[in-house]
Structure 1
Amino acid sequence: MPNVREEVYTEHGKIQLGAFTTELGITIPDVQIAFERVGPKSAPVIVVCHALTGNQFTVGTEDHPGWWSGLIGEGKNIDTAKWQVITMNVLGGCNGTTGPLNLNPKGHPYRANFPFVSVRDIVKSQYLALNQMGIQQVHAIIGGSLGGMQVLEWGVLYPNFSKLLFPLATSPYLSDFGMAYNSIARYAITNDPNWKNGEYDKNPEFGLSIARMIGMISYRSPELFNSRFSREAREGFGEHHQEKSYQVDSYLTYQGEKFLNRFDANSYLYLLKVMDHHDLGRNRGDWKRAIALIEAKIIAISYKGDIIYPTEFLEEVVNEHKKYHSSSKHHEVSTVFGHDGFLVEFDKWGHLVEEGLDCEIN
């Protein structure tokens, strides 16, 4: 391990990959991967894979904390005085990595003409970016939801690249139930009058906000909604059916409106399709045969009440992997946050990550 007194540095930048060819054989010219890199320069590397609407700003800054700043930072469960943490915005995203907002070779935004990408494409592009950084092997790879899909794919595509894999709140393939939520979200966006077949100049606000509201319902548990809102009426409760009469209405409206300023509708649609298409066993026999290819130790964490990725998904993954790596583990975290448990309540599960990282130092 590096001396804890070594300087912790933060870097935000972009790696230029040049031309990148997808699984479907389509070449995207001039691909760039936006990243955040935090920690001592000589420290072992931990790669973080973000979820559907995440980005590379995992740690962030003092003024703008990142989405996992409660888990990662100096003195935290993933201690950036000990580890070097790298997060990359996914291919097809909208936070600096090449995606629908970028210009095509003709000088126009790709928008809805961006090539389809898969989880495997995302992982491959990040692998190439890390190689350009001079990184040939990492200590661990961690991520939740779509990020967890990437973690499992990392283990299959590059079996010797990481010692540890931490898939959180995920599965080896997206269930039909999960795809059903994505289908409704997609329908909301593409039926917005301002959608314009993806050639909009401004986000189709109505459809995108509804898509986000649908997502928020699926990410949380019924227990959380019921305990938080308790059928509380808003001030000015009215008789007109179109009025937002209850606090839960206001909450969902707020979440939908807030989302409009930070995410692109085309990126959202592309990444929903990435999740739908995800199947670890595709062209590999089945997912159990794919799991057999993973050489890294798996420490999987699921969250009680997750309706998109129930506990049994990751439990089955770990039980299968134990046939080849007996030290792999699965933990279920008790939480009312459901799927979003991997973004909160770090006091309940952060120690599982910290202990797992420290156990595999040598």
Structure 2
Amino acid sequence: MASLPSSEDSRFGLRRQARLTAPLRLSSGATLGPVDIAYETYGAMNADRSNVILICHALTGDQYVASDHPVTGKPGWWWRLVGEGKPVDPARHFIICSNVIGSCMGSSGPASIDPVTGDPFAMRFPVLTIADMVRAQAALLDHLGVERLKAVIGGSMGGMQALTWPTLFPDRVESCVVIASTARHSAQNIAFHEVGRQAIMADPNWRGGDYYADGQAPVAGLSVARMAAHITYLSEAGLTEKFGRRLQARDAKTFGFDADFQVESYLRHQGLSFTDRFDANSYLYITRAMDYYDIADDHGGSLATAFTATKARFCLVSFDTDWLYPTTESRIIVHALNASGAQASFVELSSPFGHDAFLLECPELNRVVDGFLRGGRA
């Protein structure tokens, strides 16, 4: 069993990596092993190991949920929810956040070295599913000696992982918080992802994914993919309020194809800055995993059947301006949970920020999560 952090370390988080030697069997039938899992922990496990909370990250997230990112230097992506005095508090909880397999921040992914060839896997890495990511997390918890979770929490793709946990490991999850998420990827979402993947693969530097040797990565394609995806994370009202049709650092249109408008400049910045911290091949693999995600399809076509074995409590949160995973998607999950007899509470929150609202300032979300973790309902 891995050593656990001391309370002296808990304020800052502990950066760790575990190598799991047992092969991980994947949904595709392939196996992956050994498996590296990069993770961070905050707080300390109590004597009966009943205070463990697993945080699951979204598509472009990582394990640095509440500590500074080593590449960008920015605060953890969910510092508003996780930290001292926050709903998920290291003074009360032992918090684990791991980088999903397929990603590029220390867990096994396309940039990892294939032990057979000695070269990066690139596109020879096996195709993954959300369920595979969850199975890898479960293997990490086994490695850490964690048998049961007080809660598993996630937003967006993290919510997909959180919702999958009680379907695969019904006896290991006490409660589940799913924020701004869904039970399956829609045709529209698959379409947006395909635009991003095609942008990457059309970049001359992609070269079938074999770009690691010379470091000439397909940054232009990845930047465009990020720009297209970022639009889906925002709302029309939010874009209009923030940018409108205001010009960028000029008094008149240039009648050219420079970034005349502030919103254009913003998207270009988002795209380029993303390439400094993310791998293009990982983007391909993770978006494909999200597209394959369909919990009902994995349980005979019945979403309710997926939850019949679990005794977990569920909290579902949506946002009224989120058109990527709108409130209707959360209601579908709630109806299925009700049909399965599970304890479920649901709330739709108001925010001008669209899908990204779960990452931004939202006191109502903090109140909901805090109350639910203390035993209440949303």
Is 2:67 aligned against 1:51?
A: no
Contact 2:62 2:99 in 1 (8 A): yes
Alignment partner of 2:245 out of 227, 231, 235: 231
Report the residue type matching 2:315 in the other structure: I
Q: In the TM superposition, what is the alpha-carbon distance from 1:7 to its structure 2 partner?
A: 5.0
Measured against aligned partners, the alpha-carbon deviations of 1:134-178 in whole angstroms (never above 9, x if no partner) come to 000010000011111111110100111111000111111000011
Is 2:297 aligned against 1:282?
A: yes
For residues 241 and 31 of structure 2, what CA distance do their matches in structure 1 show? 50
For residues 246 and 27 of structure 1, what CA distance do their matches in structure 2 show? 48
Q: In the TM superposition, what is the alpha-carbon distance from 1:227 to its structure 2 partner?
A: 0.6
Gaps of 5+ in 1: 1-5
Matched with 1:94 is 104
Alignment partner of 1:344 out of 341, 357, 360: 360
Alignment partner of 1:220 out of 228, 234, 250: 234
Matched with 2:157 is 146
State the secondary structure of the residue aligned to 1:218.
helix
Alignment partner of 1:132 out of 137, 143, 164: 143
Question: Structure 1's 39 and 150: CA in aligned 2 closer, same or farther, altered over 3 A?
Answer: same
Report the residue type matching 2:144 in the other structure: M
Measured against aligned partners, the alpha-carbon deviations of 1:111-132 in whole angstroms (never above 9, x if no partner) come to 1111111111110111011011
Contact 1:291 1:317 in 2 (8 A): no
Alignment partner of 2:24 out of 7, 20, 40: 20
For residues 13 and 284 of structure 1, what CA distance do their matches in structure 2 show? 34
Report the TM-score when normalising by structure 2: 0.90
Contact 2:305 2:340 in 1 (8 A): no
Matched with 2:284 is 269
Q: In the TM superposition, what is the alpha-carbon distance from 1:41 to its structure 2 partner?
A: 2.8
Q: In the TM superposition, what is the alpha-carbon distance from 1:16 to its structure 2 partner?
A: 1.3
Q: In the TM superposition, what is the alpha-carbon distance from 1:80 to its structure 2 partner?
A: 1.3
Contact 1:166 1:300 in 2 (8 A): yes
Question: Structure 1's 326 and 118: CA in aligned 2 closer, same or farther, altered over 3 A?
Answer: closer
For residues 256 and 269 of structure 2, what CA distance do their matches in structure 1 show? 19
Question: Structure 1's 136 and 94: CA in aligned 2 closer, same or farther, altered over 3 A?
Answer: same
Matched with 2:4 is none
For residues 66 and 74 of structure 1, what CA distance do their matches in structure 2 show? 13
Contact 1:40 1:84 in 2 (8 A): yes
Is 2:365 aligned against 1:354?
A: no
Report the residue type matching 2:288 in the other structure: K
Contact 2:304 2:339 in 1 (8 A): no
Q: In the TM superposition, what is the alpha-carbon distance from 1:8 to its structure 2 partner?
A: 5.9
Is 2:185 aligned against 1:161?
A: no
Contact 1:7 1:40 in 2 (8 A): no
Alignment partner of 2:91 out of 52, 68, 81: 81
Contact 1:203 1:260 in 2 (8 A): no
Q: In the TM superposition, what is the alpha-carbon distance from 1:107 to its structure 2 partner?
A: 0.3
For residues 274 and 307 of structure 1, what CA distance do their matches in structure 2 show? 20
Contact 2:181 2:329 in 1 (8 A): yes
For residues 310 and 272 of structure 2, what CA distance do their matches in structure 1 show? 41
Q: In the TM superposition, what is the alpha-carbon distance from 1:52 to its structure 2 partner?
A: 0.1
State the secondary structure of the residue aligned to 2:33.
strand
Alignment partner of 1:246 out of 261, 268, 277: 261
For residues 54 and 34 of structure 1, what CA distance do their matches in structure 2 show? 13
Q: In the TM superposition, what is the alpha-carbon distance from 1:238 to its structure 2 partner?
A: 4.1
Contact 1:297 1:325 in 2 (8 A): no
Measured against aligned partners, the alpha-carbon deviations of 1:77-123 in whole angstroms (never above 9, x if no partner) come to 21111111100100101000000110112100011111111111110
For residues 109 and 65 of structure 2, what CA distance do their matches in structure 1 show? 20
Measured against aligned partners, the alpha-carbon deviations of 1:283-333 in whole angstroms (never above 9, x if no partner) come to 411223213344211101111111111101111211221234464111111
Contact 1:33 1:97 in 2 (8 A): yes
State the secondary structure of the residue aligned to 1:319.
helix
Matched with 1:193 is 204
Report the residue type matching 1:119 in the other structure: I
For residues 205 and 257 of structure 1, what CA distance do their matches in structure 2 show? 8
Identity over aligned pairs, percent: 35
Report the TM-score when normalising by structure 1: 0.94
Gaps of 5+ in 2: 1-6
For residues 120 and 234 of structure 1, what CA distance do their matches in structure 2 show? 44
Matched with 1:203 is 217
Q: In the TM superposition, what is the alpha-carbon distance from 1:27 to its structure 2 partner?
A: 2.1
Contact 2:307 2:340 in 1 (8 A): no
